[in-house]
Amino acid sequence: MNVDKAKKRIAKQVNKGFHGYPLISLEYFGKTPETATELVISFTQDENAEPQKQKFVSESDVREDEMIQSTLVRVIERAEAKTVAQIEGVSILAQ
């Protein structure tokens, strides 16, 4: 799947808003606000459950990495997530 198609599918899920659990949350991290070199995916099965986290790291921007974005689409589908939330922008990594 090409990166643009994957990004559109993810954005469509994010734009739906909250529809219950399971919930997948996405947060991008980087050294600067322009480049995200890490992606943390949090999966929460139920309202009071402890989230499971997975991190993807890339030398380039993970938002433009075709393999990472395609994998993210598959993770959302396989988890049968009712809600996909995304933290806007890029959080700065601690030095």
Query: Could you read off the pLDDT of 10-21 as tens digits, one per residue?
Result: 999 999 999 999
Q: What is the pTM of this model?
A: 0.90
Query: Could you read off the pLDDT of 20-44 as tens digits, one per residue?
Result: 999 999 999 999 999 999 999 999 9
Tell the burial category of 41 from Cβ atoms under 10 Å away from its Cβ (0-12, 13-18, 19+). buried
Residue 79 CA to residue 91 CA, distance in Å, equals 25
- Where does the pLDDT of residue 95 fall: very low under 50, low under 70, confident under 90, or very high at 90 and above? low
